[in-house]
Structure 1
Amino acid sequence: METATASPATLQLEQVSVRYGGVQALQDVSLRIAPGRVYGLIGPNGAGKSTTINVIAGFTQASSGRVRFQGSDIGAWAPHQRARAGLARTFQNLALFGSMTVRENVACGAAAAGSRCPASAREALVDAELQRFGLAAVQHEPMAVQSLGTRKRIELARALVGKPALLLLDEPAAGLSADEIRALSDAVRAVCRTGASVLLIEHDMELVMGLCEHLFVLDFGKLIAQGTPDAVRADAAVQAAYFGAADELC
């Protein structure tokens, strides 16, 4: 199994396990994320990918193990404390406020970032993200009337407005057009150029293989492989986890 290169860690999971009664959702998962890189977290349905994201973001408590973010043990921190420290996420099932406007939804991300996004700078930061994601023209419209693709862009803008050190993306490309996926890729690369890290869960293997520099592969809650996209594609255990269908990883 290939390991990530030694460099300062933005995030470290150390032997993290999650149990729900008799169900072992994660078992002794360790991974390391360095600044300025795009990482992918892949595996079959039910492998534990979203559980991993939820543990990092603070929505699920680890049964054992440690979660370290920028050198601090954040295992006991609430989600809002992690957000203020520079950890942002999107959701597999969009978590936007239907009664708010597009702009108000994005502004929530600035408020959640706390001191990382000073009140005096928030309006300008919101304006910048609305422009970047092509949302300026609809910023005063209700979020509830927007298309799925637009809602995805709103959630990404909300996550990025606070200038996070780590961005967690849970299936951001689902339902997007080819042009929107290309725009998503460009946005992710731009985030990494600032020195921030990205951890991406995605079933679009073309996107994953083209965007991610390092992959982690889960199966039945265990980390079975990690490494470059080419190394992971050739890994026999990974191919077996995908039911022997090598085409899924091409």
Structure 2
Amino acid sequence: MSFGGVHALSGVSMAIEPGRIYGLIGPNGAGKSTAINAITGTIVPSAGRILWHGKDVSRWPQHRRARSGLARTFQNLALFHKLSVRENVACGAIHAHDDAGLRGAVDAALDAFGLAQVADEPVDVLSLGTRKRVEMARATVAKPRLLLLDEPAAGLTGSEIAEFSTRMRAFRDGGGAVLLVEHDMSLVMSLCEHLFVLDFGRLIAAGTPGEVRANPAVQAAYFGAGDDQLH
């Protein structure tokens, strides 16, 4: 993946299995968001392939990938701020359900993320934590097979992060896979079962949280820090 001769990603290979939570970590500028953008079709890779259930989707448009079971959230919230919570969530299911099933799917997502009481409120009057729950509900309402999350815990309180972890484990237990990009290392180490580590666009480590924490290359990537930076 190159931009004007600069390699944002180079030689990165990741395999993701259903029913697991993965973390994608690395210093700022390592290529984490670029990887998510390539997987979901926001940008088109200049080389390599993206395989999804055995099919090369590297040139598929975003909407086709979404319909095939890929869903994401964004580092900067991408909600329709003048629409209600219910209307925002419904946008995530519009291609996955007929009219008869749409309301039921939306109601289920609202309940799952504790949003039923604010379903008719415009999202621009809600707190950051609640707006993030709206985005999560929208991303999961169509029951995707892979959920890609770009810094979902940023700005959340400790209790909100705990609730987020519970919901992600429930999504995993239902057979879904999660790829989490996050700078909160305590969250990553407690929630993820397998980690990929990027630095300068290259994959420098992969393994369990314990294996990654002990990896000298990973410690060096985090500003030459020791093990304490990865707890």
TM-score by length of 1: 0.90
1:93 is paired with a residue whose SS is: coil
Corresponding residue SS for 1:94: coil
SS at match of 1:36: coil
Partners in 1 of 2:129 and 2:155 — Cα distance?
7
Per-residue Cα deviation, 1:158-191 (whole angstroms, up to 9, x for no partner):
0000000000000000011111111110111111
The residue type paired with residue 92 of structure 2 is G
1:118 shift after superposition: 3.6
The amino acid of 1:71's aligned partner reads G
Structure 2: state its 5+ residue gaps: none
Distance 1:60 1:104 in 2: 27
Q: Normalized against structure 2, the TM-score is what? A: 0.98
* Alignment-derived partner of residue 57 in structure 1: 40
* Match in the other structure for 1:96: 79
| Rounded Cα–Cα distance in structure 2 between residues aligned with 1:73 and 1:179 | 40
Match of 1:38 among 2, 21, 26: 21
- 2:62 paired residue number: 79
Mean CA deviation greater in 187-196 or 116-125: 116-125
Partner of 2:116: 136
CA distance in 2, matches of 1:215, 1:53: 15
Per the alignment, residue 5 of structure 1 pairs with: none
Deviation at 1:28, TM superposition (A): 1.2
SS of the equivalent of 1:31 reads: coil
Cα distance, 1:24 vs. partner?
A: 0.9
Match of 1:181 among 125, 136, 161: 161
Q: Percent identity?
A: 62
SS in 2 for 1:223: strand
Aligned counterparts of 1:150 and 1:240: Cα–Cα separation in 2: 36
Write the letter of the residue equivalent to 1:60. Answer: I
Give the ranges of 4+ consecutive aligned residues of structure 1 lying more than 6 Å apart after TM superposition: none
- For residues 117 and 82 of structure 1, the distance between their equivalents in structure 2, rounded to whole angstroms, comes to 16
Distance 1:187 1:72 in 2: 29
Alignment match, 1:24: 7
Q: How much does 1:194 deviate?
A: 1.3
> 2:71 & 2:25 partners in 1: Cα distance?
19
Question: For 1:150 and 1:189, how far apart are their aligned partners in 2?
Answer: 19
Cα offsets for 1:112-161 (capped at 9, x unmatched): xx2x4343211111111111211111111111111111110000000000
1-structure distance, mates of 2:220, 2:98: 49
Q: Write the distance in 1 (CA, Å) between the matches of 2:169 and 2:129.
A: 19
How far is the alpha carbon of 1:72 from its aligned partner? 1.1
Separation in 2 of the partners of 1:96 and 1:53?
18
For 1:158, the equivalent position in structure 2 comes to 138
Separation (CA, whole Å) in 1 of partners of 2:100 and 2:228: 51
**How far has the Cα of 1:56 moved from its partner?**
0.3
- What is aligned with 1:11? none
Distance in structure 1 (CA, Å) of the matches to 2:162 and 2:28: 25
Q: Which letter maps to 1:107?
A: A
Aligned counterpart, 2:204? 224
Find the counterpart in structure 2 of residue 14 from structure 1.
Answer: none
